[in-house]
Structure 1
């Protein structure tokens, strides 16, 4: 049965101004918001150009290719009274989605996180095999999330999926906190941190809005886990509790080494309960994404006419671009389509010049008095100079393979270019293979060469790896790639593996 606090809430938004957007008066509900080495391989790279000058703040962005689904793209099975708070991931060729609903058969009675997948964003999102979406995380009696689990945000880093979610033991005031669960497949989850929350309300200020802390959005960037969230008790939250705060750590459970965004950028704090002194956007139920082509974070939040994306530089000090708008109806916050690490998807047709922006959001208040009817909306940013400098280009093209000037293939991986003798091997290691070389890649040096029949190893702790001509041992995630390369792995000890300089992992 839907909790009383989840009833429809009055929403008031001002129109988007040229330089930004105004605040939301939405009241979150108890468990969810309402509305290198150069020259390898025989060619000499062109001299590296000096770094580009800093881009001015508040540059305008141009959009086109507006799109939306004509119908609901995902819904729970029979008895699911609401559907909202989606997290979307482009995982290889599959679009995966987790969202908040409630199944009568999923004990205990309360919010559940459902899962569905689809080939396209217009769905329908179904469980593997075509069955109705399934509940993959429900309350754990006796825990902080004993009754409700909601508001998922999902990352995949290496071979591990991380699910950040809002949990509550009941309907009491300030009962929401943020938890973490892990998985190897995105379907079967194990609670981390001993089942305890990783982030609680800060209790800086107690307001009429007694939601607490929740609605997480996570991104993995340069070895850091970024976590954005709502905390109605945060010092810098608005009068109604609205606001978005950020912490980061190299530990996915945020047990130590924590930094938070203050007035002058990131600063080190003792724990995730440090005072919330700076809010980045006056909103509830927002989502976060890193856009490599813009070298900027994007925060997606609802405003009067749709979903606004507000852009921040890497340190959250300035707004390098004016906001962009994905128009259309909504009733509760958006879920951005992201890559597994929380980065923006890359355009298949123009990776250096376009950025596709797609969201799924609830669009009506249903019979249960709660948001439902998840639909897809999107636009493209166009005219982007995403390959304007080499580091940004290598980030945008990560996972791409394309012909080299020497009748081999160049694979972009981990911020470097690896030359690969065999096209079949490059195709196995790459996320996307281009038939025509992008001329921008000529400015990047080749870091190493994967030659046919290169020496390969296997160890108990580290798995598979191959030695490239730079002398480094590069982990390989695909046994098939080694087979295609004619590289037969030899079993070695973990100690011997450690004697090799390490390359970055090859394969997706």
Structure 2
């Protein structure tokens, strides 16, 4: 994290004693611990069954090391630094947001830039070409009046959420976490009147940074938010540590749970005591890996960018850590799908996971991190499709041959039988030539037959009525090859149908 943010002088986002922190951040090692049975509840407050006794962590095979040859992105104009990226793979495009500063983006302070590329190897440019665009800057009068930095972006149900570090100036413990929303990932509106996470003030150390560097994931209806809090009780002597909250509300205004030594427990607010740190590090990123049924935390180690793994309840580490050989000064940002999950591998959907990061690699002329480079590798030997539950998560949005010479499409944990391959191709993110045998254990939830009725309502858009259930449709291009006529319905008529999951996958695959 060794944050050196600049306007004309060191900004409020700077991390206390810089020289000490650079050394501490670079040497930050993952410190997974095996806790007791998980506490807290699952979605809706229902207790989750206790985990089975933890098994020894499994070793992952790795290959295909890549990247590091060149800088893949930089701000244009007078941008003096570039660091803290977050990346999503969406519709064949890699989208990246990161921290920099443009003199033209008032007020003077950290800005969040946006650019995109066809591959994580770059080059990244602004929308339509040209220099990256400043998409979020300080809000005069707000908690983030001067600085906005450290973005983490996810997309849930068509809405983009940008979690970021904000600060009003050079104040001790002045950093806090805000959230903004967007329909396109470029034009943002702040979603709360103030910060959504503030410092806990459990312990004031020499490092007066406060709270920031968020990393967000959406899983099973929960918004997970990992972050730095140098005032956290479980932070290290220098403020290093990663804490975790989750909520069903993206603004974390209600239903907040904090991860402690006993698992997730309900807390009164986001400034609740920080009793457990997941890793001794600054500037980390979080991702859910469906094929591994595990979270991955990317952070800096002495050997490179480390990947530390935790099970769903953060009670055990199911896999041994993996290291991506790399140079580092700030970051990393994992390449993820829009919901914060791992991308699928183009080589082996069920057994191989691509881990790619972009991070700052040098201290530039402004004495701040810059030089965004890509590094990555593949982990494999994972049994991602050995049981139906995990396979349905891994194969979400993927079409495979059915036993009846038709196609089966995996949609939100269900199996939809589609009679025409051309239709399945329009609805799927990928079509496999071979059917994973585990899908034979999954019942068919619906049938998409030629000529199936399509409906349109002003308030809800398009949908397909399949076996009496209304499945919202994100891919209108599937209607023509299916010979489906469209009938207008009122919003009230739409709501009277039993609802199915949305059809038409829009997420990511490895690039």
Q: Provide the TM-score with structure 1 as the length reference.
A: 0.90
Of the candidates 351, 355, 358, which is equivalent to residue 360 of structure 1? 358
Shift of 1:441: 2.9
Distance in 2 between residues matched to 1:212 and 1:488, nearest whole Å = 57
* Structure 2 residue 489 is the aligned partner of structure 1 residue 477: no
**Residue of structure 2 equivalent to 1:490:** 487
Alignment of 1:353-432 (within 5 A): 353-432=351-430
Deviates more, 1:364-373 or 1:429-438: 429-438
* Structure 2 residue 307 is the aligned partner of structure 1 residue 295: no
Cα RMSD, aligned residues only: 2.0
**Residue of structure 2 equivalent to 1:250:** 248
Distance in 2 between residues matched to 1:53 and 1:388, nearest whole Å = 18
Deviates more, 1:239-248 or 1:487-496: 487-496
| 8 A contact 1:285–1:301 mirrored in 2 | yes
* Structure 2 residue 94 is the aligned partner of structure 1 residue 95: yes
Shift of 1:445: 2.3
Distance in 1 between residues matched to 2:84 and 2:28, nearest whole Å = 23
| 8 A contact 1:356–1:380 mirrored in 2 | yes
Shift of 1:380: 0.6
* Structure 2 residue 23 is the aligned partner of structure 1 residue 11: yes
Shift of 1:425: 1.5
| 8 A contact 1:174–1:210 mirrored in 2 | yes
In 2 relative to 1, CA 2–290 (structure 1 residues): closer, same or farther, beyond 3 Å? farther
Aligned to 2:69, what secondary structure does the other structure show? coil
**Residue of structure 1 equivalent to 2:231:** 233
In 2 relative to 1, CA 14–375 (structure 1 residues): closer, same or farther, beyond 3 Å? closer
Shift of 1:53: 7.8
**Residue of structure 1 equivalent to 2:453:** 455
Alignment of 1:104-119 (within 5 A): 104-119=103-118
Shift of 1:146: 0.6
What runs of 5+ residues in structure 1 fail to find an aligned partner?
24-51
| 8 A contact 1:83–1:101 mirrored in 2 | yes
Distance in 2 between residues matched to 1:15 and 1:188, nearest whole Å = 37
- String of CA shifts for 1:121-151, please: whole Å, max 9, x gaps: 1101101222011111111111111100000
**Residue of structure 1 equivalent to 2:143:** 144
Distance in 2 between residues matched to 1:53 and 1:232, nearest whole Å = 34
**Residue of structure 2 equivalent to 1:120:** 119
Shift of 1:57: 3.7
Shift of 1:21: 5.1
Deviates more, 1:209-218 or 1:54-63: 54-63
Shift of 1:367: 0.8
Shift of 1:14: 8.7
Distance in 1 between residues matched to 2:310 and 2:322, nearest whole Å = 12
**Residue of structure 2 equivalent to 1:78:** 77
Alignment of 1:25-424 (within 5 A): 56-194=55-193, 196-424=194-422
Q: How many residues align?
A: 476
| 8 A contact 1:22–1:282 mirrored in 2 | no
Shift of 1:444: 2.5
- String of CA shifts for 1:208-237, please: whole Å, max 9, x gaps: 111011000000001111011111111111
| 8 A contact 1:16–1:22 mirrored in 2 | no
Aligned to 2:73, what secondary structure does the other structure show? coil
- String of CA shifts for 1:5-45, please: whole Å, max 9, x gaps: 6566531479899xx5599xxxxxxxxxxxxxxxxxxxxxx
Deviates more, 1:458-467 or 1:355-364: 458-467
